[in-house]
Structure 1
Amino acid sequence: MKKTKKIVASLLALTMAFGLTACGASGGDGGSAAGGSDSGAAATTDSGSTETTQSDSGAASGDIVKLVVWGNGSADTADCEAVAEAVSKITREKIGVEIELVRGQDAEQIQLALTSGEPIDLLCYNNISGQFNTVVNNNWAYPLDDLLEQYGQGAKEFINPYDLDACRYNGVLYALPNQKDTSRAAGFAMRKDICDELGIEVPEFGTYEEMHDILVKVHEAHPEMYPLVPTWAQGGMQTTLPEDPLGDSLGVLEDARESSTTVVNEAETKGFQDFCKMMWQWNQEGLIMPDATTTTENALLSSNGFAMFENWKPGKELEVYKGNGKEVYFMKIHGPIKHTAIPNGNSWCIPYCSKHPEEAMKLWNLMYTDPEISNLFINGIEGKHWVYTDDSHTMIKSPDGVDPNASGYSSMDWAWPNQQITPVWEGAEDPDLWTKLNEFNNSGVPSPAMGFTWDSSAVMNEVTACNNVVAQYKTALLWGSIDPDENIPKYIEELKAAGIDDIIAEKQKQLDAFLASK
């Protein structure tokens, strides 16, 4: 497996180096069309709208068009096929398309598919590092302004214009925000069974010191457990630092809740350095999973993990339960904030390699507006993956005898266009969950840079060099795996040698221009 991954990585590096244009040009501005002459390609006008130069659409001729949809989360192939056929029964009649559904592709697989021109018509880009910025900087996404106007009017009714603007790059629309949390609070999720057993009272808001005391208590009572584990494999962490990453975290606003618009090197900030020193201390005390940065496991609370860093929103407790099979308490470190990467994160695009962008937008529109289609994509097949709790059809649960973590089709409602037209899962304890989620979203403190999208094309070499340095140091520092007193100075020195100051200067220039234009 390791050998295979190395081969995949090598192929990816080669394709990126030679800038294959089957599904996007290398570098350049986010509004230019991909090279090549595949049918269905589009020319981008000066205003960012698109003109279809040749259509491969079968809808006009009465033929059924097949759309390939790549979603996030794990699912068995047979279950994906069953869901795709159930959706296709509806869409063949409504919009003249049928569906092939793929889920569970990792970042390497997605990027290799995009650079090699594999036909994909709708893609959730959640697993790609850098997400929206990576997609548009590589010209992998199809401009949406005209398509949305022609085929997405229903979707527009659901989308907050403020969040829609976060999906623009140089004024051009390349994604649509999922109807998920567009504000974000952050803190810790910890297992309810262990807290109840040890009499641990979990406050709604707390401090790192309080979390430290909880971890120590668990470690003493259960030395066989890992007190703190990654949120996902290989050191995944939903950081509690209240930064605005300004796209790629190579130059950030240190605190998105404050009015300062000065772009700084994250590694040089007090918040980052204090956090790394705290995690080093916790690691020395045995409070952190030893192989946190290298584990290939997800859902670590389901085995012998106690707590993890996690974002919070209304209904998050149930979401964690569905992913880990454990009920949790949350302790928040900070309240809800908004920055551009939240609404445009975990969202979808129409890749340039799509030969059917019009039909893709029609399907996307149905994913926002048709409750049956949305429910199928999100929750799967009634009777197999879920059942209604009663005749009101407002809440659902797993069928008797079916483990929600082993049903063959994981439910990741936030990773699909519109969870808010689907039933609420039993355990959310609130049929008004979607109303409360919208109230939470509206309560977020916006970053002063909200709506800003970073264009790294002028400093691409520096970005690549700095990302290599980040890969060497950042995750290890965040998890306390290496001594911060020794390694943060090295990290800063190597970032500077790689060109971080040039990146920050360019990002500051763009941010200043954006703010002046508002």
Structure 2
Amino acid sequence: MHYSKRVLMIAAASASAILLAACGSNGSSSSNGGSSSKTVVTMIQPGSGIQNETKLMAAANKELQKKYPNIELKIKQIDWGDYGQKFNVMVTSGESYDLAFSQDYAANASKGVFQDLTSLIKDNAKEAYDAIDPAYWQGVKVDGKIYGFPTNANVFSQQAFVFNPTFTKKYGIDVSKVDSYQSLEPVLKEFHEKNPNVVAFPLVKGARISLKAMSYPLGNNFPFAIDASGKSTKVVNQYDTKEMMDDMKTLHKYYQAGYLPKDAATSSTTYNAADDTWFVQNQTVGPFDYGNNALKTAANGKDIIVNKFTDAYKQTSDAQMAVYVMSKTSNHKKEAMQVMNAINTDKKLENILVWGVEGQQWKFTNKDNGQIETLKGYDATKALGAWLTGNNRLLYTKSNITPDDIATRDSSIKSAKDSATLGFNPTTDDVKTELTNVSNVMSKYADILNTGTADPTTTVKQMDKELKAAGWDKVQKSLQKQYDAFLASK
């Protein structure tokens, strides 16, 4: 069950939004403190309003202009619910923009709709290039070229079972040995017997079973997967693997026992971290979440228990989590790359953008260690999300993050392996019809299989029959040919 990574990362510093306006032009003064003598570089991103916007952008531009005196950064935001559609309109209409938070990065890049940034980065942002984990640059390459500037945050992520401490403490339930769907059984049984009125394991529509070491070249909504470890190079249907079948059978057993919601396959219920409406959830965690600290923040201080159960691989999907692209018609290509260079190398600028104005949104508690606390003026709902802003290694941390936490973060990033598929961005132009047909089949089966609602023994056989008729074999052959070529080119 792969919940959105955005949920966890936003807990540290949330995104914000204002209406989209014309971008990519030299500008007169604006709410961001603009000046007609500066080249205005516009960055478009999803969000819901910038805290203390005028003062924040004035402080940010003052710092930016220490390095690039003739550039002014202007941030424009679009509400999360509208961003995808408006971004697609920008791309398809050929609208000019300097920097924009990308949607469907690899697919759009392969179509040639974005500016090739390879030489622009080399000439204008080499300092930032060198500061960002190399896995990011490998992950954003499409046909050997870089079309997007990644945000340096969780370069790898893992799936984890997270437990509500309200109930583990109340009932004395030991969850320390849980490291798989199967080992959940005794704690689910114990909790359900003691509190049958609270959902033990709240799966909902869209949940996906997480396998220990698997990559999904088209995303995990499609039945195409590759072993991340590299032990196998075959493109397979993950639903046909023994691991997946065992997990589906286990969840079906839990569903029949009443541990899962009866309407799991169709439910859109939200189970907030702070609420006592759940016992265990499946969540995504990464090194910049600092153990359970991101979840703890989301849960209003509850000491959420985190048990990771998938392997740590740097995946293409993580590298492309927050990527900024440029239109081919931008008038400020050089200046836009200089802005990205500054955001990813200037500690003061990065922290202004994410935390706000010192003394108004935050203050130091230990300046030598880069530790801070937020003030009454800080509004997490109107802060620029750290996960989509610059180089997270530059960020100050709250006082609850210790030097040991940071050391653990860095060592975990260093020890995480590159997925065998890192940088594999297949094209699908030759199988569009088949992929549409496959998607239609999966819309019937994915939710009922991943929430334990259906018996996988019979359901997968029927699904595979329909997938074959939909053209699964043709898509697999196309992906396999491209993956073999990708491996040969390494």
TM normalised by structure 2 equals: 0.80
Name the counterpart of 1:510: 482
Q: CA deviation at 1:234?
A: 5.1
Name the counterpart of 1:22: none
* Equivalences for residues 140-219 of structure 1 within 5 A: 140-203=113-176, 206-219=179-192
Taking the aligned partners of 2:73 and 2:229, their CA distance within structure 1 comes to 45
Taking the aligned partners of 1:413 and 1:87, their CA distance within structure 2 comes to 15
Q: Is the 8 A contact 1:189 1:330 kept in 2?
A: yes
Residues 244, 491 of structure 1: alpha-carbon distance in 2 compared, 3 angstrom cutoff: same
RMSD across aligned positions (CA): 3.4
Residues 122, 471 of structure 1: alpha-carbon distance in 2 compared, 3 angstrom cutoff: farther
Give, as a single letter, the amino acid of the residue that structure 1 aligns with 2:334. E
Name the counterpart of 1:328: 304
Residues 449, 384 of structure 1: alpha-carbon distance in 2 compared, 3 angstrom cutoff: same
Give, as a single letter, the amino acid of the residue that structure 2 aligns with 1:334. T
Q: For 1:260, which of 232, 235, 241 is the aligned residue?
A: 232
Q: CA deviation at 1:290?
A: 4.7
**Which secondary structure does the structure 2 equivalent of 1:226 belong to?**
coil
Q: Is the 8 A contact 2:372 2:398 kept in 1?
A: yes
Q: For 1:98, which of 69, 73, 76 is the aligned residue?
A: 73
Taking the aligned partners of 2:404 and 2:319, their CA distance within structure 1 comes to 22
* Equivalences for residues 334-483 of structure 1 within 5 A: 334-352=310-328, 354-383=330-359, 385-392=361-368, 394-399=370-375, 407-409=380-382, 412-428=385-401, 430-483=402-455
Q: Is the 8 A contact 1:257 1:447 kept in 2?
A: yes
Give, as a single letter, the amino acid of the residue that structure 2 aligns with 1:171. G
Name the counterpart of 1:487: 459
Taking the aligned partners of 1:57 and 1:389, their CA distance within structure 2 comes to 40
Give, as a single letter, the amino acid of the residue that structure 1 aligns with 2:337. M
Q: CA deviation at 1:85?
A: 4.6
Q: CA deviation at 1:58?
A: 7.2
Q: Is the 8 A contact 2:107 2:427 kept in 1?
A: no
Name the counterpart of 1:70: 44
1:245-298 Cα distance to aligned partner (Å, 9 max, x none): 124354644532251101112232223333223222222333234555555565
Q: CA deviation at 1:243?
A: 0.8
Give, as a single letter, the amino acid of the residue that structure 1 aligns with 2:213. P
Q: CA deviation at 1:502?
A: 1.0
Which shows bigger deviation, 453-462 or 499-508?
A: 453-462
Residues 208, 248 of structure 1: alpha-carbon distance in 2 compared, 3 angstrom cutoff: closer
Q: Is the 8 A contact 1:205 1:334 kept in 2?
A: no
Gaps of 5+ in 1: 1-37, 41-55
Taking the aligned partners of 1:251 and 1:439, their CA distance within structure 2 comes to 33
Taking the aligned partners of 1:509 and 1:273, their CA distance within structure 2 comes to 26
Q: CA deviation at 1:205?
A: 6.3
Taking the aligned partners of 1:176 and 1:152, their CA distance within structure 2 comes to 10
Q: CA deviation at 1:479?
A: 1.9
Name the counterpart of 2:215: 244
Q: Is the 8 A contact 2:211 2:243 kept in 1?
A: no
Q: CA deviation at 1:170?
A: 0.7
Q: CA deviation at 1:389?
A: 2.7
Gaps of 5+ in 2: 1-21, 29-34
Q: Is the 8 A contact 1:378 1:419 kept in 2?
A: no
**Which secondary structure does the structure 2 equivalent of 1:320 belong to?**
helix
Q: For 1:114, which of 79, 87, 91 is the aligned residue?
A: 91
**Which secondary structure does the structure 1 equivalent of 2:311 belong to?**
strand
Q: CA deviation at 1:150?
A: 1.8
Give, as a single letter, the amino acid of the residue that structure 1 aligns with 2:44. W
Q: CA deviation at 1:511?
A: 1.3
Residues 273, 138 of structure 1: alpha-carbon distance in 2 compared, 3 angstrom cutoff: farther
Give, as a single letter, the amino acid of the residue that structure 1 aligns with 2:365. T
1:360-398 Cα distance to aligned partner (Å, 9 max, x none): 222211221111221233333445544433444612233
Q: CA deviation at 1:356?
A: 3.2
Q: Is the 8 A contact 2:209 2:244 kept in 1?
A: no
Residues 291, 87 of structure 1: alpha-carbon distance in 2 compared, 3 angstrom cutoff: farther
Q: CA deviation at 1:318?
A: 1.1
Name the counterpart of 2:10: none
1:135-178 Cα distance to aligned partner (Å, 9 max, x none): 32444432110210121112112123343122111111122343
Taking the aligned partners of 1:441 and 1:393, their CA distance within structure 2 comes to 20
1:212-249 Cα distance to aligned partner (Å, 9 max, x none): 3223333333334332235xx85355834421112435
1:432-481 Cα distance to aligned partner (Å, 9 max, x none): 54443232122223333333221222223322332333334323421224
Taking the aligned partners of 2:319 and 2:111, their CA distance within structure 1 comes to 20
Q: CA deviation at 1:320?
A: 1.7
Give, as a single letter, the amino acid of the residue that structure 1 aligns with 2:485. A
**Which secondary structure does the structure 2 equivalent of 1:69 belong to?**
strand
Which shows bigger deviation, 246-255 or 320-329?
A: 246-255
Name the counterpart of 1:24: none
Taking the aligned partners of 1:508 and 1:153, their CA distance within structure 2 comes to 35
Q: Is the 8 A contact 2:45 2:75 kept in 1?
A: no
Q: CA deviation at 1:189?
A: 1.5
**Which secondary structure does the structure 2 equivalent of 1:364 belong to?**
helix
Residues 226, 382 of structure 1: alpha-carbon distance in 2 compared, 3 angstrom cutoff: farther
TM normalised by structure 1 equals: 0.76
